[in-house]
Structure 1
């Protein structure tokens, strides 16, 4: 199964259902360039995520760090961490994405000792999974097997999936990382989420830097430093990009009008919207609209 429509809410929390009917688990293939945005936008979720690259390469950004992941490799992304992904150098990257609730791992009695400390550790935002070490190969093999099990849904497959998940978790925590817990790191993550959430709630209104900074309880200068560290762009450039990304799904509606969409996503000039859209997407909004309609015919 391919997942192309990547939905997030105003808190940047992913809305993809990370579960089957029976399990709080989802496992699917994603082709990055076929996503509506052309990339996987910045988001977070309560589930932990394991990724395995089937084709090409991807650059994942987790909080402030960027990580290159190549074909045959993988990455673990911890619960609650802001992350995004881009296809590297037009490699037509395809990957398996395995999302699982932390409560899927181990029994309730063992969760406090072997799961919670790793979910809460501020120095374990992510972990690159290569192919050299046995623990890495074990995780990658289990991801493929879980994907196959969920696709085929043979009798009792849920039991086997849970067994593989526990194997993945066992190999992850036996890797031997020394866990750390930083109040300042937790606070920084929450402040960033508050500012991004405020932008999303007010994206169709007039937005200024002072209001964004206020949402994060920061000075304007510190707000800019947060965005440049974590989002890799200025707050106002992020606002512009978010508005353009919002317009993509609206323009796919056959009855939509470019001018109406411009005002709906927060632009007060259709000509400015067209110029910025072309700068970001490489074509005018009307050309994009016609391109998307042609794909449906």
Structure 2
């Protein structure tokens, strides 16, 4: 199990491996009011399953309140983020996979009739999956089964997971169960493209001093206009997002005991140690040293 106290999915990582491009993540967010998933996107598809609490989930420009026992599907390239709803802590599991995992070696009937429509979004999974009908409950049960196989990783678990994903495709075949997302409104698409450009700039330059004006120039917008745009799209101010991203990167560096905490702070863009500790505590509900101890203990328990 890939478990974290609060580390969101990393956009530029390989989920799984080249032979089996799928990975599952379990995240327990115990800091009330903090984002549970920073705004990001990736080329893979993703199922997000809420196990506990409620999440206000954003996909591109749409918002969904996801309750325990419900799921969200994210298509390739879609910006998404999540915040705890009603100030509740939450726990969730995510399955991130390259759709090529389902592709056939040749252009057979499975590829042509069932997998290709998923690639071009003419027959995609419903966005918000709730346990309202028999077939939706079936999708959710299958998703929980996939998460269980990812956790246990018994011999041949890859076979089980691939067959379960294909079974989910079969479940949405009838009309009224799948969604055509091949056409997107130009206005919303333009806003999404702008946000992607800004986020890419932040993720490339987070370890250097960043001014609002520098980030706003990437679109371009005035400072005030940009701050309003960014907050409307992410529910975070640009500074909140930059700090959150820096803390995520710091969490990764802290897993290496040889990295000094003061060096980690500088490496992720914090000039002052006291401010780094303050922001870290706000987001992680512990100090950097406490976080390192917790994660190292967990690592020892997991490998023993």
TM-score range relative to shorter protein? 0.7 to 0.9
SS in 2 for 1:115: helix
Which of residues 4, 19, 39 is equivalent to 1:42?
Answer: 39
**TM-fit CA distance, 1:237:** 2.5
Which range moved further: 179-188 or 105-114? 105-114
Distance 1:141 1:236, change over 3 A: closer
SS in 2 for 1:136: helix
**TM-fit CA distance, 1:139:** 1.9
Which of residues 59, 74, 78 is equivalent to 2:75?
Answer: 78
Unaligned runs of 5+ residues in structure 2 are: 104-108
1:56-107 superposed Cα distances (whole Å, 9 cap, x missing partner): 5444332344433233322222221122345666655243636351783774
Distance 1:75 1:168, change over 3 A: farther
Distance 1:38 1:210, change over 3 A: closer
Once residues 104 and 205 of structure 1 are traced to their aligned partners in structure 2, the CA distance between those partners, rounded to angstroms, is 40
Tell me what 1:256 maps to. Answer: 259
**TM-fit CA distance, 1:192:** 0.8
Distance 1:284 1:27, change over 3 A: closer
1:141 corresponds to 2:141: yes
SS in 1 for 2:42: coil
With the length of structure 2 as denominator, give the TM-score of the two structures. Answer: 0.74
Once residues 125 and 209 of structure 1 are traced to their aligned partners in structure 2, the CA distance between those partners, rounded to angstroms, is 37
Superposition map of 1:4-153 within 5 A: 4=4, 7-8=9-10, 13=11, 15-18=13-16, 21=19, 24=21, 26=22, 28=24, 30-33=26-29, 39-85=36-82, 93-95=91-93, 97=95, 99-101=97-99, 104=102, 107-110=110-113, 114-116=117-119, 118=121, 127-147=127-147, 151-152=153-154, 153=156
Which of residues 207, 223, 228 is equivalent to 2:226?
Answer: 223
Distance 1:160 1:283, change over 3 A: closer
Distance 1:288 1:125, change over 3 A: same
Unaligned runs of 5+ residues in structure 1 are: none
Tell me what 1:244 maps to. Answer: 247
Number of positions where the alignment pairs a residue of Structure 1 with one of Structure 2: 286
Distance 1:112 1:259, change over 3 A: closer
Once residues 190 and 292 of structure 2 are traced to their aligned partners in structure 1, the CA distance between those partners, rounded to angstroms, is 41
Once residues 158 and 256 of structure 2 are traced to their aligned partners in structure 1, the CA distance between those partners, rounded to angstroms, is 41
Once residues 242 and 208 of structure 1 are traced to their aligned partners in structure 2, the CA distance between those partners, rounded to angstroms, is 15
SS in 2 for 1:32: strand
Which range moved further: 188-197 or 86-95? 86-95
With the length of structure 1 as denominator, give the TM-score of the two structures. Answer: 0.75
SS in 2 for 1:268: coil
Once residues 42 and 196 of structure 2 are traced to their aligned partners in structure 1, the CA distance between those partners, rounded to angstroms, is 12
**TM-fit CA distance, 1:177:** 5.2
